[in-house]
Amino acid sequence: MKLVKSKDVSLPMGVLGLTAWADAKRLYAACMDGAIYECDPATGKVTPLPDRHESYASGCVLLPDGKTLISAGYDGCLLWHDLVAKKSIRRVQAHTFWSWRLALSPDGRRVASSTGQYLAGGEKYEPAAAAEPTVKVFDALTGELRQSFDHGPPVTSLAFAPDNRHVAGGNLMGEVRVWDVDAGKVAAEFTTPDFTCWGQIKSPHYCGGIYGLMFPPDGDTLLCCGMGAMADPMAGNGKMRWQRWDWRAAPPKKRDQIRDSDGGTGLMETLAPVPGGGFLMAGRQAQGTWTTAVFAADGKLVASLDTKSRVTQAVFAPDGRKLYLAATVGQPKPVNGKWGDFGRVHVVDVV
C-alpha cells in the first residue's frame, strides 16, 4: 500500500473536523472561522453553510439520511443544519466551555459532545473538577439531552462502539472511561500514563492527553492516540503514540502499542478505520518522516505520508481507494491586506 497526495482543496481557515456523504463525493469541513463548508473534492469548489458558530467549529457529523448535519464549536453549541433547505434548524447550548469533540453513533441516533477546561486544582497543578458534566449524549434527531457523564477535564476524545450503546472518552491525564448509555453508568475505566506528562521547562504544567479514540469493528478493544512524555511543553516533541486496550477485560489491559521505530515525535490527533481492516493515525510532527500512517490490524506499519501540515481528521471513501484529510498549514503572510487560505482538505490516493 502507498499513500499519494493527488490534490488539495483550499479553505479560508484551518480545518478541525471533516465528514462525508456515504459515497464521499461531497465533504463537509468544520473550520476555525466558525463555518461549515461544503466541499466538492473533484472540482475543489467550497461553499459555506448559511449559519456558523461564534468561535471555532470543532467538528461535524452527517446523519445517515444525508440531509442533516450536526456541528459543534468552541462556543459550546451544537448546530443542526438542514442541507436540503440550506438553513440551520436547531441550536443547542451543550456546554458553557468549548466542545472539544463530537461523535455520532453508528446507527446515527445518538450524538455525543465533550468539554472541560484545564484549571489548576491544587499545588501539584492537577486539573480542578469540572463545573459541569464533561460528556453529554443527545438524541441526534430531536436534540434532546439523553445522558450526562462526569469525567476529569478536559475530555479531548470521544468514540462510540459498534453496538451504539457504549461511548468512550479520554482526557488530559490519560484517563479513559467507557459508559453504557442505556444504563447511564460507567462500564469500564482505565488510566494510561503514557499520554500525559508534567512539563518542567519554560511553563510547568500538565500537557498531552488522549486526542483520538476508536473502537475496531469487533468492539472488544479500544485504540487511543496522542503523544508521549516531554520536558518542555512548548516543544511538542513527545513520541507519536497509539495504544490498544482490552476494555472489556476485568480490569482492562493494554494489548499492544506503536513500535518506537515506526514513528517520530509529535501530537497524534485522530484515528480512523481503514476499509478492509486496520486503522489510520494522523496528526502533526515535530520530527520524523510522516504525519499520516496506516497500520494493519496487527499493528504493523504498512504505509505513511508526510503532508507537511497538521492533520486533524481523516475520512476514507467506501472502497478505500481515496482518503480525505482535514488539515491546517502554516498561515501565509497577508498580501494587500488580505490573508491567504490556510485550511486544507488533502485528497490522497491509496494505491
**167-181 per-position pLDDT tens digit:** 999 999 999 999 999
Which pLDDT band, with edges at 50, 70 and 90, does 46 fall under? very high
pTM tops 0.85, yes or no:
yes
Asked if the model's pLDDT at residue 137 lies above 90, the reply is: yes
CB burial of residue 214 (10 Å; 0-12, 13-18, 19+): buried
CA angle 58, 184, 148 (to 5 degrees): 35
Asked if the model's pLDDT at residue 236 lies above 90, the reply is: no
CATH architecture for the domain at 3-350: 7 Propeller (2.130)
For 87-102, b/e burial (b = at least 16 CB within 10 A) is ebeeebebbebbbbbb
Give me the mean pLDDT over the 293-316 stretch: 98
User: What's the pLDDT score for residue 292?
Assistant: 98
Residue entry with cell 443527545? 138
Give me the mean pLDDT over the 203-222 stretch: 93
